[in-house]
Amino acid sequence: MDQTILRWIVDEHALADLVAGIPTLGLVVLIAVTLLVLSKGAEWMIEGAVHLARRTGLPKIVIGATIISLGTTTPEAFVSVMAAWMGNPGLALGNGVGSIICDTGLIFGLTCLLSTVPVNRYILNRTGWVQVGAATLLVIVSLVALARVPEQPTLHRWVGFFFLILLCVYMYITYSWARNGGEAASGEEAPDEGKIAPLGKALAQCLGGLSLVVVAARVLIPSAAELAGRMGVPDDVIAATMVAFGTSLPELMTAIIAVRKGHPEITVGNIVGADVLNCLFVIGASAAARPLEIPPNFFLFHFPAMLIILYSFRLFITMNKDGIFKRWQGVWLLGIYLIYLVLQYGFNIGGAAG
């Protein structure tokens, strides 16, 4: 039984076969239930994060950039490592790069449109540079690999282990920044009122909510894809939308609930942290498991799209002297993402990205 459950977690085909055997009415009910579980899990996670921030004295943006982002990107890392190990490097690399583009373009763009998002200068002037720096390092290393072996550029295992070491350094430095400048960082966040939950309960809410979000997202996407297929939606449309959307569903649900609860800074932290982790953790762990060959479309399409979105975000942090992100900036990021999606589907560029 345990091996069967593990197969459903690891193997996309096994999970797809499982939902394929469910009647259409059962799929509709399953999708409705997973959406409710997803929403409730995200709600618990945000509440736990807020209490954890108040209990530990760490800013909410730091909780979002470390604990929440680590939780929401761990499933991607797991799937990507398994994909690399099973000989699908395009999926592993595409998961990391595609998620950065989706997180910052789609999710943060939507957050700026739906809410007033504060610019926490103390944290963003530090972790924001790590965010864009990690992505730039990935592209530079990839270009060096292309220059050395043009016919088959590869991210070797040493690159993966190097990225994982940088990940440990990033987590430690982020914690140190927050500890040393906790008052400066927290001072830019709106104060919370009300009773503070005990540390154990806050951690349980965070971890329990994360678990529900991850499991529900894992079940929802193949279920929705199967239902769409039965309704006559073409496979390529499902691949270009459902699969790409699915990798960032935990971050999206976290953003929606955080905005609804009045804590958009958790979303900012989660997006920045998830971008760093997608580079250093998802791609690093995948390359450490097995060298990743870099398909040509990454140099022509995915890498440029990722850098345009991330450097736009970095520019907005510098521009916003009044301490808030503007709605037009959200429109810009969302527009870049939609152009990326249309080009990917309409011209079949970059089928590897997920």
Under DSSP, is residue 352 helix (H, G, I), strand (E, B) or coil?
coil
Backbone angles phi, psi at 293, to 5 degrees: -75, 140
Q: Would you list the DSSP string of 309-322?
A: HHHHHHHHHHH-TT
Residue 229 and residue 235 in contact, taking contact as beta carbons nearer than 8 Å: yes
Neighbours of 166 (CB within 10 A): 19
Q: What is the pLDDT of residue 315?
A: 92
**Alpha-carbon gap, residue 307 to 311, rounded angstroms:** 6
Statement: residue 245 has pLDDT above 70: no
Tell me which residue has tokens 């609860």. Answer: 261
Under DSSP, is residue 124 helix (H, G, I), strand (E, B) or coil?
helix
pLDDT digits (tens, 9 = 90+) for 114-153: 888 877 776 677 778 889 999 999 999 999 999 998 988 9
Q: What is the pLDDT of residue 6?
A: 47
Q: What is the pLDDT of residue 22?
A: 85
Tell me which residue has tokens 């990107």. Answer: 73
The mean pLDDT of 193-202, rounded to a whole number, is 70
Statement: residue 260 has pLDDT above 70: yes
CA angle centred on 70, ends 64 and 71, rounded to 5°: 95
Q: Domain spans of the chain?
A: 60-190+233-346
Q: What is the pLDDT of residue 166?
A: 94
Statement: residue 234 has pLDDT above 70: no
Q: What is the pLDDT of residue 187?
A: 47
| H-assigned helices in the chain | 2-10, 12-20, 24-56, 60-63, 69-85, 89-101, 108-114, 121-148, 157-180, 182-186, 199-230, 235-238, 244-247, 249-260, 264-277, 284-289, 296-297, 303-319, 327-346
C-alpha distances in Å from residue 195, one per residue of 155, 192, 222, 228: 49, 9, 40, 45
Percent of the chain with pLDDT over 70: 74
Q: What CATH architecture applies to the domain 60-190+233-346?
A: Up-down Bundle (1.20)
Tell if the pTM clears 0.85, that is, is over it.
no
Q: Would you list the DSSP string of 265-276?
A: HHHHHHHHHHHH
pLDDT digits (tens, 9 = 90+) for 264-282: 777 787 788 889 988 998 8
**Alpha-carbon gap, residue 129 to 301, rounded angstroms:** 23
